[in-house]
Structure 1
Amino acid sequence: MSLMSKLLTSTLIATIALSANASVDNKTLLNYVKRNVVKNPQVEVKGIKIIEKKTHKDIPGWDVYLTSMQLKFQKKDIEAPEMIFVKDGLATGHLVNLKTGRDYRNEIKPTVPNELYDDAHLLFGDKNAKHKIIIFSDPQCPFCQEVVPEIFEASKKNPKLIAVYYYHLPLLRIHPVSGILTRIMHVAQTEGKIDVVEKMYTLKIDPRETDMKKVIAAVKKHTGYDITEAKINSKEVTKALEKDQKAAARMMVSGTPTVYIDGQWDKMRNGYKKLK
């Protein structure tokens, strides 16, 4: 169970009445969160920030509030994303179509803020390209290995059309080796060795390998890139990857690959093929 799961408990289709015709503001949502979302008594809910309000064509009349909760747990400040559906004085964390089982919590994500398009994350293409793609990925994820290299190639072929911004999201519970691989990838990118980042997607390695020396040796054999343990364990690398994790939380990313095109979530991950 993840830390976030320990902190929060969301109840499927459970609703809470808000005051009739009330303006849904921070205070209203904060009261809802305190009563219905955060069930762990050890967690203090300090505040909530509305990041964005959206709608969805399939659930008319419902407003979708994408929020960030400010929590305190064991003397540690934590920011946790939360999605809240509101309509006619009712609120719920999950809105499910009972016929199809479709949970609209899985259908909506925030719009990408401009600050995520920074030079540090620009991997391919021109920063002034017509279209901007953001990718959250793990090189050991099989779905990533199918999709991500193709997006890279599309940008390489037409850098003025597509710019690719890359964020690391290693799925450590599934493939612990990605924790080391993403560190190596980050350093390689900062050194301008973009080919190393690409080649990580074809690296064959035990996904549960955590021996750093063995991982470094496997990367060197596969890519020709040699790196020291000191470099990948530096504070700068740790800080950069923590920043990527925060970006993933801000964008409510829960799996890989997650792709955004021109600020909007590309659920099917193939929208880049239609760009022109």
Structure 2
Amino acid sequence: MLKLLSTTLLLSSFIYANNVSEKVEDFLDDKFMENPRLKSVDVTVSDVVPLKQLAGWNAYIVDVEAYLKAQPKRLIKQRMIWFSDGRIITKELTDMQGGESLTDLVKPPFKDEYYKKENLLFGNPDAKHKVAIFSDPLCPFCKGFVPGALDYMKKDPKKFAVYYYHFPLERLHPASVHLVKAAAAAELQGDKNVIEKLYHVQINPQERDVKKILKAFNKAVGTKLTPKDLNTPAVIKQVNRDLDIANAVMVGGTPTIYLDGKVDNTKKKYLKVQ
């Protein structure tokens, strides 16, 4: 009887979770379609995580696919987290005791499959610690962090395997979109040190002229890339792969650092590992 009761409770919880997931999807579908710039939106709950801190509440990991009216062939993908108890829905919840955002506690982990050999900047793949860095080369915070962090970890290849992922913040730094394509093109041509040189490119972050951006890039990196080199299938594939991984683990800003599969909001833990 107890086993039957437990099974019934589990089934009830599953059905309830499914019902709320559908409510979350329907609500967000309607909410996002209020944006006049969107042609269509598809919202899917990919995972549900119960909140230990708040009984009756779950975190809903939501995948959103949308098309813009101005660019009907361009598919925009985004993963986000929403919280709901089945009646109320909110984007943010913060633990008042520890001050932690519950969003950070339920973000997807950095899976082993995301450590691509193409993203290995330096270090032994079997090193004691794996570090993943998502960065925009024109982000002021990245400029102040990434070069020093790379220089520190590069000295100990048995301790650190460092993986680098392009994450240009197009709305803030339009020029970074062309810069990361140029970096990918240079990497594909065999330049193994392009990422370290990338942070020495002198260009206005708001620049949109690809010729001006390439001139600054070629000067800093020592390449002779042309605009045509930035749009090859191989370059587009490499940049999109990085963006897909960033979306999968819900990277929202730069620099974002993962140490051994877990996001490091302090960005300093690599200094303390043994």
Give TM-score, length-normalised by structure 2: 0.79
CA-atom RMSD in angstroms: 3.2
2:264 matched residue in structure 1? 266
Question: What are the superposed Cα offsets for residues 187-234 of structure 1, whole Å, 9 maximum, x if unpaired?
Answer: 222333232220111222111222222222222222322222221121
**Residue correspondence of structure 1 range 10-25 to structure 2 within 5 A:** 22-23=13-14
CA positional deviation for 1:101: 8.2
- Equivalent-residue separation in structure 2 for 1:69 and 1:124 (angstroms): 33
In structure 1, the residue matched to 2:198 is 200
* SS of the residue 1:49 aligns to: strand
Cα offset, 1:83, TM superposition: 1.6
Alpha-carbon displacement from aligned partner over 1:51-84 (angstroms, at most 9, x marks no partner): x74767xx36576545243646468766432323
Classify 1:91/1:207 alpha carbon distance in 2 versus 1 (closer, same or farther; 3 Å).
closer
Q: Distance in 2 between matches of 1:46 and 1:37?
A: 7
Q: Larger Cα Rg: Structure 1 or Structure 2?
A: 2
1:103 shift after superposition: 4.5
2:159 aligned residue? 161
Between 1:159-168 and 1:65-74, the stretch displaced more is 65-74
Superposition deviation, residue 268 in structure 1: 1.1
CA distance in 1, matches of 2:50, 2:272: 25
Relative to structure 1, is the Cα distance of residues 95 and 36 closer, same or farther in structure 2, using a 3 angstrom cutoff?
farther
CA contact (8 A) 1:185 1:196 kept: yes
Evaluate the alpha carbon distance shift between residue 166 and residue 190 of structure 1 in structure 2; reply closer, same or farther with a 3 A threshold: same
Pick aligned residue for 1:31 from 17, 22, 33: 22
CA 270–25 in structure 1, closer or farther in 2 if over 3 Å, else same: farther
Partner residue, 1:179: 177
Alignment-mate amino acid for residue 209 of structure 2: D
1:230 is aligned to 2:228: yes
Match of 1:49 among 23, 37, 46: 46
- The 5 A counterparts of 1:91-106 are 92-96=90-94, 103-105=101-103
User: Which whole-Å CA distance do the structure 1 matches of 2:217 and 2:176 have between them?
Assistant: 12
Give the deviation of 1:110 after TM superposition.
1.8
Does residue 32 of structure 2 align to residue 40 of structure 1? Answer: yes
C-alpha distance in 2, partners of 1:25/1:128? 44
**Using a 3 Å threshold, how does the CA distance of structure 1 residues 227 and 265 change in structure 2: closer, same or farther?**
same
Q: Structure 2: how far apart are the matches of 1:63 and 1:110? A: 18
Unpaired stretches in structure 1, ≥5 consecutive residues:
1-20
Structure 1 distance, partners of 2:129, 2:259, is 7
Q: Give the equivalent residue in structure 2 for 1:67.
A: 61
